[in-house]
Every structure is written in C-alpha cells, then in structure tokens.
Structure 1
Amino acid sequence: MFAQTREPDAKPSKEVVQYMDRFQQIIKKNSLFADSIDWGQLRNEVQEKVQGLATVEECKPVIDHILLTLRNAGDKHSFFMPKEKAANWTSSSYEGKQAESRYLGNGIGYIKVPELVSMNASAGQTFSHGIRSQLEALETQNKITGWVVDLRHNTGGNMHPMINGLQALIGEGTYGYFILPRHKYKKERPLRSWSGKEKEQRAAEAATTQRRVAVLIDSLTGSSGEMVAIALKGLGNAKFFGQPSAGYTTTNQNFKLSDGAYLFLATGYMADKNRNPYLNGIAPDVVVEHSPDAAQDKTIEAARRWLLEPK
C-alpha cells in the first residue's frame, strides 16, 4: 500500500508528468490501434486525472483509464505489469506447470503444453527441455505414427520456449511471421527455428515433422498459446480439434518503464508460415463439444480417429 498524497488542486509532480507522457508516447508511436484513438481528448483526460498526484505509484487509475481507451479502440490484449509482478516474471524460481505426456496406444503420442508465465531464461530452458525430452522418450519407447499436441487451457506467457520444445514437430526454418503495420521499415518479421544440430539428426527430426499432428484448442487457448497453435497451423500435416481459441492473437511487445514496471503493448499480429493472418483467433477444423473432466475426452477421441485414418 502507498500513502495517498493527492491534492486535487495541486499540479502533478514532474515525475508523474514525465511518466505519463512517456506512457502515452509509447502507445501513440507503437500501438496497432493508435489511429483509432482521439489523442487530443485522451491527453485532456489524462491531464485532469493526474492533478494532485505526487508519485508514480498513484498513477495506476490513470493507466487503467488509458488501457480502457485502448480496449474501446479494439485492443483486447495489451496490459500493464506493475514492478512487483515484473520481478516475479523474470525470477529464476518459476514454479508453474510443466509439460505432460503419455502414449495413447496405436502409435499415437500425446503432449500437453501449458502456459509459461515467465521471461527468465533458465526457466524457459527448463520448460523447453521438458517438452523435448518427453517427445524423445515417447519416440524411443514406441513406434510413433502421429501426435496429439494439447494446447487447451494454455493461456500464454512466453511463446519461445514452447516453440523450441516442439521443434521436432514444427521443424526448422520459418514457422510464422509477426506482421507489424506501424513499424517504419520492417513491416514483416519472420519467425525462425534453428537447432544447430548435426545434419543426420536434423534429417531424423525432419521425418518426424511429416507425421500427422492433431492440435487441440479451446476458448482458453490464448495469447502465446495461440501463437504456438499458429506455428503448427502452417504444417501441411496438421488438423485442429476443439473449440475456437480466445482471440488474443495480436503480438505484444514489452516496454520497460522508469519504475521497473512494464507495458505489454499490441504492436502487430501473427501469420502462419504461409502468411495467412490470424486477427480474431483460430477456428478448429473439427468442432468438438466440450466434455467435462470426469467424462471421456471427446476432443482427444476425435483426434485419435483422424490420426488412425488411412493416409
């Protein structure tokens, strides 16, 4: 908690003015939705709301107002992360979920990839290694002819360790694009995966990418979870099962602020390796009715049936 020092008739402190000016400048220059905002009106509203504020900590309601303006302009993805939460975001002591896998029989391997709410390099390496090692173990112990990649309830976080972990299925090279309409020079940024492994090992992994991949999504597959799904969407041997995804497919760029907080701002959107854009989420190829946890998983069963069909 912080002490309230607001005096409504007093001018805001220099620190507050600079902080809020910088916050608005970042959005105006970089936001995918910047052109849909009345910046004159917003500046006036911010100037009114910061009156009497003495510290950056007191700016949170003003920040919330700016983000609400972004929401009303069509941005459902950008968010503000206070410095306390940002410290946990980069901490090496990540205790979130890790990937889970099992053999489903009949040559089908299953891997469930959860969210990864960490930007710490060590935590990311542990996460991606867990995915890779489980894929390799299933390959070693069984004759795998098809894969189920379960991204249901993957609400996002850090996409890159997820992509790295699934590289044996996604393959090397370009797996998608960030489309950045407001970038001055580089409107399209290719996303590439490269292992640096020996030629023979890459050839073996290339054979893996030719197997069918059933991707499971639902309404809680969001943000980076959707980015991973889009990376798989570009594969010619993939099919999607479940429910439409959450629709947080804009790409969030992080901007560190002077107090250690972060603004995660939607600056573009993702396209698959064939440059098909995804602005409003991902629709499954096969819609499957949600089944309660205690019942037979209808989505997995639908995926199994497709994987066992003759090619």
Structure 2
Amino acid sequence: MKRWLKIFGLALILLSGLLYWLGPRFGFWLIPPSPQRYATEAIQLIDREGLRSHQENWNRERSVILRELKKSKTIQDTYPLIEQAAKIGGSEHSFLDSAKQETIKEAEQLPVIKRLDDDLLYIHLPEMLDLDQKQEETYANKVNTALLSESYKAVILDLRGNRGGNLTPMILSVSSLLPDGSLLKSIDQRGKEQDWILKDGRFSAEPSIRLAKQGKKSVPVAILLDKQTASSGEITALSFKGLPHVSFWGKVSAGYTSVNRTFLLYDGTRLNLTVASLKDREGNSYFNTPIQPEHISNHPLEEARAYLNHNE
C-alpha cells in the first residue's frame, strides 16, 4: 500500500510540474503567476511565434527586456516591456490589447451601403473589432446580400479609415467580387507559405463564418485608400491586387501589411503578435509595406466615381 502511495505521490508531483511549466502554453495556470512569470511566458511565446524572433538582435534585446522585467511589481507594470518585445520579435504591427479596453459600439462597426448613381454601388467597410461570430456574420451578410441582390455596373469599395481588426468578415462581405481560390499567401518565420483560400462562401482563415447567400459578380471595382487604411483593411485591399477591372485611388496606406495572431494572456490581455508576412496573387511580397494606389488623389471618391461612370 505504501509503495502505491509513493508512486501516486511521485506521479502527482510530476504532473504538477508539467502543468506548472507547460500549462500556460495552453491557457492553464496551476497558480496565479508573479509579474515576472507572466511576462516570461509572453516572451517565450514571442520566441516561438514571432516573425522576427529568429533574427540576431532579438536575443540581445530579449536579454535586456528580461533584466528590466525584474523591477516589475505588478502584472500591469510588465505591459510596456511585453509590447516592446512583441514589436522587436514580431514587428511594429504587434501590440498589446488590455482586457479593460472599451468595447466599440455595434453601430460603429457596420458597413455603409448606398447607391451613388443608377449603376454605381458604394460600400464603406469600417474596421471590425468584434470577435463574436454573430456580429461577424451580420457584418459580412449586410454587404454580401446587397452585392448579390442589387443591380449595378460598378462598385466603389471605400476602405478609408479602416484600421483593421477581424479580417474574415471583411473578406466574406466582398467575396462575390473575388474569384474563388488563393487570395494571398502568408509566410511564417520558417519561410513556410500558406494559401488563404476563398471557396464556396468560406474563407480558410475562419471557415466557421457562413454567408446567407452565395454567388459571383464580375464588375469594375474602385478601391479607396488613405493613410488610416491599415492591417486587415490593407489586407482586404490586397486580396483584389492583380485582378482585371480593379483600380486603387487615394493616398498611400498605413503600411501594416503583415499577419497578426491574437494570443490570450493570463489576465485576459490580448497579445497581437506579427507571425507572418504576405505575398499577393502576382507574387509581390509585403512586410509592413504600404499600398501605393495607381491614382493618387485628394478627392478619390469623386474621381473614382467619374472614372467608373465614364468607363462603364
């Protein structure tokens, strides 16, 4: 009996040790972490996943940050250093999102659709920060249903002011204007390429999101950009790159053309870490590279509208 108790005790100690060291990788914490343990786990995550964590300067900067973390008295004290580490090991696109961040109102996230002329449909896609599947589907279906139900000869897709957020609803909302197949490729820190595929109303980045209607339209599309078009807003624009009858208008975009993945830390804070660069369907590479519109304009809506009306 004593022998079995010893074996059980040793197994329990071993299991506890494994949970203590490996549990945080899977969101399980055996005991609440100290500020240093909390931050160290975040740094190790950047080690494993960050796009630039294989570069020489990362190890040097990592050591400096770990020394600075010893001074932290609370978890909140570690936030600036974790974000600094993420920008070095990931990219400037990486950032920390506090669990206390104010929620964006639902009405502010929905697209605007209106007819400018008899044959011209205008769509403004705003940033999409909601991670709720119902809201994602509401966002995507509002635009997709209009594109498939209404009659028009051209579309103005306004991405000005779209600073990013959740990409899938943006792509699915305009999926009827995009061909099925690979829209883009992502390239991780090991150089592995992955196709981002649109097929039958599903997007491989988040295949659980569904559209109420499916179909395709082949019409000219004018895409409007400005310096506030960033991240997922830019990636949505890139999904149209290389397609016939697509033109880009406005100002150079913000230059956050890279892939962020969201990791949830112990206290609910989100670490948005850059894990991949991008390549468009023509083979052009992007790593926080701004998108250059071929039509630089201070009045892109008016000029794109006149262009489409003249070239229908």
Class of the TM-score when normalised by the shorter of the 2 chains: 0.7 to 0.9
Letter aligned with residue 98 of structure 2: P
Question: What is the CA–CA distance in structure 2 between the aligned matches of 1:308 and 1:52, rounded to whole Å?
Answer: 63
Report the CA distance shift for 1:257/1:14 in structure 2 as closer, same or farther (over 3 A). Answer: closer
Q: Does 1:128 align with 2:140?
A: yes
* 2:93 is the counterpart of 1:77: yes
Please show how residues 172-191 of structure 1 align to structure 2 within 5 Å. Answer: 172-182=180-190, 186-191=192-197
Partner of 2:290: 281
SS in 2 for 1:96: helix
Which residue does the alignment assign to 1:59?
78
In structure 2, the gaps of 5 or more residues are: 1-31, 203-212
Distance (Å, rounded) in 1 between the aligned partners of 2:36 and 2:286? 37
Task: Output aligned runs, 1:42-121, within 5 Å.
Answer: 42-67=61-86, 70=88, 75-85=91-101, 88=103, 94-121=106-133
Residues 79 and 265 of structure 1 are in contact (CA less than 8 Å); yes or no, is this contact kept in structure 2? Answer: yes
Give the corresponding residue for 2:29: none
**TM-score between both structures, scaled by the size of structure 1:** 0.77
- Number of positions where the alignment pairs a residue of Structure 1 with one of Structure 2: 270
Is 1:254 aligned to residue 262 of structure 2?
yes
SS of the equivalent of 1:83 reads coil
Residues 96 and 117 in structure 1, CA contact (< 8 A), matched pair in contact too: no
Of 47-56 and 158-167, deviating more is 47-56
Three-state SS of the structure 2 residue aligned to 1:125 is helix
**Secondary structure of the structure 2 residue equivalent to 1:246:** coil
Report how far residue 35 of structure 1 moved. 3.5
Q: 1:44 to 1:179 in 2, by over 3 A?
A: closer
Q: Give 5+ residue unaligned stretches, structure 1.
A: 1-12, 291-297
Residue identity opposite 1:190 in structure 2: W
Cα 1:40–1:75 change in 2 (3 A) is closer
Which secondary structure state, in structure 2, belongs to the residue aligned with residue 29 of structure 1? helix
TM-score, normalised by the number of residues in structure 2 = 0.77
SS of the residue 1:265 aligns to:
strand
Q: How far is the alpha carbon of 1:191 from its aligned partner? A: 3.0
**Using the alignment, how far apart are the partners of 1:268 and 1:40 within structure 2?**
19
CA distance in 2, matches of 1:179, 1:43: 23
Percent identity, please.
Answer: 26
Task: Rate the CA distance shift 1:178–1:83 in 2: closer, same or farther, 3 A.
Answer: same
Q: CA contact under 8 A between 2:182 and 2:195: conserved in structure 1? A: no
* Structural mapping, 1:94-243, within 5 Å: 94-139=106-151, 144-182=152-190, 186-195=192-201, 205-206=215-216, 208=217, 210-243=218-251
> Residues 74 and 40 (structure 1 numbering): CA distance in 2 closer, same or farther, change over 3 Å?
closer
Query: In the alignment, residue 85 of structure 2 is paired with which amino acid?
Result: I
Task: Give the whole-Å Cα distance in 2 for the aligned partners of 1:80 and 1:54.
Answer: 19
C-alpha distance in 1 between matches for 2:161 and 2:221: 18
